[in-house]
Amino acid sequence: MKLYKIETENLMTDGGATFGVIPKVMWQKQYPADDDNYCNLTMRSLLVDTGDRRILIDTGIGNKQSEKFYSYYRLNGDATLLGSLNEAGYSPEEITDVILTHLHFDHDGGHVIRDSEGNLKLLFSNARHWTTKAQWSNYLNPNIREGAVYFPEDMMPVKEAGKLKIIEEEGEYIPGIEFRIFNGHTPGMIVPVITYKNTKVIYGADLIPLMANIPLPWVSAYDLYPLISIEEKKKLLNEAYENGYVLFFEHDLYNECCTLIKTDKGIKPGKPFDLSEIDNIIQ
């Protein structure tokens, strides 16, 4: 098995929303903000090559929305989904599976593109696109808070092409990758857990988007059910610490991965490292 980080784009989000009820005097020591209180977050996908299958987890925000839309989030950085795939040595046609942790626009925008005539088409035309029944239901009938983050152009072309795979329960639907389901951020979010050599790699999605979100109360204001998020995070962090798992951060611009340590104040992040260093860390 081979693992590759796939950087897509960066976006700016409000620091207060990113860290919820945590005061800025505390969170700004862990994650910087600009003068407008915006934090710069990456959208970091993960490519898993098992030999038989090539699985991409999340696809970033894409580039098919309006210029006005992108101005709200101040997209920045030079990385693109296609550019990062090419750098890793892969073409879109080689991707066999796309796991969409959830269907918010910053996680599922890149797999549908517009052609030269403005028509929508699948970037990964040979791939199955995975989501959960609960998240799909939420996407079709969003609550008042999530209505602005689900776009029909991101997922309906997948459904119309017959490439949508909907699961109802947790399980290992792809050998070596567990689909764990979490409901605090949004109903039916998938957290993929990848068996890699002698450990597991947890793709934190929006359960643990940043290394700074590891402390239990540090949950985002974007979470629909923050108390559920805290309990879900507590359970997963305990499992990860006890078994020496690696956390992979989707939105942390400054830290890609870490393992965990335990102190008298609870579970904390260990020294961060890049995904390319993982073999040295876990040996």
pLDDT 10s digits, 130-185: 999 999 999 999 999 998 999 999 999 999 999 999 999 999 999 999 999 999 99
Residues 6+ apart with CB under 8 A from 240: 200, 202, 247, 260
- Amino acid letter at 96? T
**In which element (H, E) is residue 252 found?**
none
Low-confidence ranges of the chain (pLDDT < 70): none
Q: What is the DSSP string of 1-70?
A: -EEEEEEEEEEEEEHHHHHTTS-HHHHTTTS---TTSEEEEEEEEEEEE-SS-EEEE-----S-S-HHHH
**DSSP-derived 3-state class of residue 165:** strand
Region of 51 on the Ramachandran plot (φ > 0 left; ψ -120 to 50 alpha; else beta): left
Q: What is the 3-state secondary structure (H, E, C) of 182-235?
A: ECCCCCCEEEEEEEECCEEEEECCCCCCCHHHCCCCCCCCCCCCHHHHHHHHHH
**Phi, psi at residue 127, to the nearest 5°?**
-100, 145
Residue with tokens 């870490």: 258
**Signed CA dihedral, 94, 96, 101, 106: sign only:** positive
pLDDT of residue 70: 86
pLDDT of residue 241: 97
Domain range holding 203?
Answer: 2-282
CATH code of the domain containing 213? 3.60.15.10
* Count of domains for the chain: 1
pLDDT of residue 275: 98
